[in-house]
Structure 1
Amino acid sequence: MTLQNKEKRKQRISYAIAFSTLFIIEILIAIFVHDTFIRPYIGDVLVVVVLYMGVRIFIPNGCRLLAVYIFLFATLVEYLQYFKLIQLLGMENNTFLRVIIGSVFDEKDILCYGVGCILLGIYEWIKISLGQKSRKE
């Protein structure tokens, strides 16, 4: 196994651990937190981070615009809620799909996705900056 492949494997494992941890936190928030801040806002910021980490398991490097793509995907899902996708599919009684896709459109959710993706963009910028510094040394 080459050094580059070992590094990618290490990155994938790190992303898988982060994904699993954040996914569990999201589930715990969905089940146990019924407040007016953490669940509706922090949960929506975290959901784009969970998606990002999930994609990074398979694409550990490259795709500099991944945070933008995640934002567009999350926004699309939110607009599908606006058009009542769950009801159109006849799945309004399916609790799992209602939690995953959501059932209520809220423009504040899109703002939260944006905040999460901006944080991801900052993370990417720092990661790239640190990577360039270590290559120079």
Structure 2
Amino acid sequence: MKNQCARICYGALFAALLAVEVLIALFVHDDFVRPYLGDVLVVAVVYALVRVFLPRGAPLLPLYVTLFAVLVEFSQYFRLVERLGLGKNRLLRIVLGSVFDWKDILCYLAGGALIFAAERLICGRRPL
């Protein structure tokens, strides 16, 4: 029963964070929230989604999600979408991105750090 409650909570968190990300993408056209806060939040979105399926979590899950985000960013450096011949697929270009930026990696690291802190402060867990 406890796992089911956790799944529902993480599902609601995922839905809320995803809604915020979509609203940012559609309506915010500034030089801070969209490019930086959006990248910080995307790590939390992916983390919440994974926790729906792994409600008990994994001690290093925040690290794994952060590394995943960094790997996606590096795939942009190597133009993976174009090399796979998927450059015309708008959805993949949006999800995987198309422009590498070191600042994005810093934002993903900040997002991962916030997840570690939230796990510690809110849940009382020590991720490491």
How high is the TM-score relative to the length of structure 1?
0.86
User: Which residue number in structure 2 is paired with residue 66 of structure 1?
Assistant: 61
Name the counterpart of 1:48: 43
> What is the CA-CA distance between 1:75 and the residue it aligns to?
0.5
2:105: which partner in 1?
Answer: 110
Structure 2 unaligned residues grouped into runs of 5+: none
Query: 2:75 aligns to what SS in structure 1?
Result: helix
Question: Hey, what's the Cα distance between the residues in 2 that align with 1:96 and 1:79?
Answer: 18
Query: What is the CA distance between 1:30 and its match in structure 2?
Result: 1.5
| Number of residue pairs the alignment of both structures matches | 125
Structure richer in helix, relative to its length = 1
User: How many Å apart are 1:33 and its aligned residue?
Assistant: 1.7
How far off is 1:12 after superposition?
0.5
One-letter amino acid of the structure 1 residue matched with residue 45 of structure 2: V
CA distance in 1, matches of 2:30, 2:98: 18
| Alpha-carbon offset, residue 13 of structure 1 | 0.2
1:17-56 pair list within 5 angstroms: 17-56=12-51
In structure 1, stretches of 5+ residues that fail to align are 1-5, 131-137
Deviation digits for residues 66-89 of structure 1 (CA, Å, limit 9, x no counterpart): 110011100100000000012112
The answer to whether structure 1 residue 93 and structure 2 residue 81 are counterparts is no
Q: CA RMSD in A?
A: 1.3
Provide the residue aligned with 2:118 in structure 1: 123
Q: Structure 1 CA distance, aligned partners of 2:86 and 2:17?
A: 26
Larger radius of gyration between Structure 1 and Structure 2: 1
**Residues in 1 aligned to 2:26 and 2:89: alpha-carbon distance in whole angstroms:** 16
The runs of 4+ residues in structure 1 deviating greater than 6 Å are none
Q: Cα 1:126–1:29, aligned 2, differ >3 Å: closer, same or farther?
A: same
Is 1:79 the counterpart of 2:74 in the alignment?
yes
| 1:6-21 correspondence runs (5 A) | 6-21=1-16
Aligned residues with identical type, % of pairs: 50
